Amino acid sequence: MKKKTDNQLTQWEAISLMVGAGVGAGIMAVPFLAERVGIIGLAVILPVAWAASSIVHLMLAEVLFRTGQDLQIVELMQIYILKGRIGKWFLWIIFTFLSIAFLANLAAYISGAGEIVANLTGIHQRIAELAIYIISASVVFFGLKAVGIAEKIGVIVLISLVSVIVLGVIPLGLSLPLKTSGSATGWMALYGMVMYALWTFYSVPQVVKGLGSDRHGAVRAILIGLGINGALTATVALVALGLSTEVTQIAIIGITKEMGPWVGVIGSILIIFAFVTSYWSVSLALADIIQERIGLSTKLAWLLATLPSLIILWIGVWQFLEWLRLAAGATAIVVALITIPMYKKARQKGVVKDPGWTLGPWGSPAMLALVLFLLILMGVGSLVSIG
C-alpha cells in the first residue's frame, strides 16, 4: 500500500474534484439547448450521457490501475499506442491539441465568471476577469491537496446554493409541459452539451493519484462525482425550463430575472463558484500534463497552464457558448479516437496483472463499440449548428 502523503485526498475531496471539474460552463448551457427538445428529450438524454460518461471515465481509471504509475492521459498514450518516431510526432500534436481545448475551457470559465462579477459589482469586466483569474490560479499553485480541500468547500457551497434556489422556486411553481420537440440537430446539440457537463475525464488521474492504492475508493469517487453532476445538471435545467420566460445561454441569468433580486445575488455567487471550481480541476490537470510532457518545474508548468487562458480570452472574439462548443467538440474527438484502443492495450499489456478493480463485462468489445459511437455523437453534437 502506498504511504499516505500530503497529496493524499480523502474520499470526499476526490468526489469533490470530480464534481468541481463538471459543474461549470456546461451545466449552465444545458437548459438553453434543452428548451429546443423538451423535458422528455432531456429525460432520455441525461441517463444515456451519464452511463456513457461513467464507462469512459472508468476505462481511464482501469488503464491507470493496470499501468501502476501516476501519469496523465498524454503519457499513457505514449506507453500504449503512440510509439516510435511517428508516434512521437503524433504525441506532440495531440498534446498541442489537448492544450488548446483545455485553454478554451479555462478561458470560458474566466469569461463567464468575470461577466457575472462585473454585472454584480459594476466594475470593468477586464478587472473582474483578472480578479477571477488570480483567485482561481492561486489555489492551483499549491498543488493537488490544496485543490482537493478547495473543491470540497466549493462543492458544499454549490449544493447549498442550488438548494436555496429550489426552495425559493417551490412557492412559485413550475410549468413543465411533457412533450418532445426539436430537430435531430437539436437533440444532438443537447446530448453533446450534457456529455460536456458530465465530462470530468482529465481529473480521473488526480483522483487515482490522490486515493493511492484504494482502487474501489477511486471508482466510487468517479461514479458519485458524475452522479452529483448529473443531479445538479437536471435540477438547474428543470428550474430554468419551468420558470424562465426566456431561457438564457447562461441559465442562471434567466432564472434570476424571474425570481427577484435576492435570487440574483444567490445566482451570481452560484455561477462564480461553478466556474472557479471547474477552473481549479481543469488547470491542475493541464499543469500536470505540461510538467510530464515538457519536464518543466511544477511552478512553471502551473504558469503555462493558467496565464494563457487569460491572454487568449482578452485577444479572442468568441462568445460564451461558442467557447464551450469548441472545447467540447475538440475534447470528445480526441478521447473517442484514443481512449478505447489504449484501454484494450492496457488490458493486454499492462504491467499490473491484478489491478484490484476492472470493468469486467462492461469492457467487452460490444460495449466498447457502443461507447465509441456515443463519444462520436458527443463530438458531432458539440459542433452542430443550433441556430
Instruction: Decide if 3 is inside a domain.
Output: no
Of 291, 313, 373, the C-alpha closest to 340 is: 373
Instruction: Decide if 1 is inside a domain.
Output: no
Instruction: Decide if 2 is inside a domain.
Output: no
Residue 169, pLDDT score:
81
Spell out the residues 6+ positions from residue 242 whose beta carbon is closer than 8 angstroms to its own: 169, 174, 175, 176
Of 209, 386, 175, 196, the C-alpha closest to 288 is: 209
Q: How far apart are CA 134 and CA 11, in angstroms?
A: 28
Q: What is the pLDDT along the chain (387 residues), one digit of tens a residue?
A: 344 444 589 999 999 999 998 887 677 788 888 888 888 888 999 999 999 999 999 999 999 999 989 899 889 999 998 888 888 898 888 888 788 778 877 888 898 889 889 988 899 999 999 999 999 999 999 999 999 999 999 999 999 998 998 888 887 777 766 666 767 888 888 898 888 888 888 899 999 999 998 999 999 999 999 999 999 999 988 888 877 667 777 677 777 777 777 877 888 888 889 889 999 999 999 999 999 999 999 999 999 999 988 888 887 655 555 655 566 566 666 776 788 999 999 999 899 988 999 999 999 999 999 988 888 888 787 777 555
Work out the angle at residue 299's Cα, subtended by the Cα atoms of residues 294 and 302, and round it to the nearest 5 degrees: 70
What is the domain extent for residue 337? 11-383
Is residue 27 a contact partner of residue 273, using CB atoms and an 8 Å limit? no
Q: For the chain, where are the alpha helices, taking DSSP H only? A: 11-22, 25-34, 38-67, 73-80, 84-121, 125-141, 144-169, 184-197, 204-211, 215-243, 251-259, 261-294, 298-315, 320-349, 365-383
Element (H, E) at 214: none
Instruction: Decide if 151 is inside a domain.
Output: yes
Q: 3-class SS at 307?
A: helix
CB atoms within 10 A of CB 220: 16
- For cell 467540447, the residue is 328
Residue 178, pLDDT score:
65
Instruction: Decide if 6 is inside a domain.
Output: no
83: domain CATH number is 1.20.1740.10
Structural domain count of the chain: 1
Q: How far apart are CA 153 and CA 217, in angstroms?
A: 20
Q: How far apart are CA 266 and CA 20, in angstroms?
A: 18
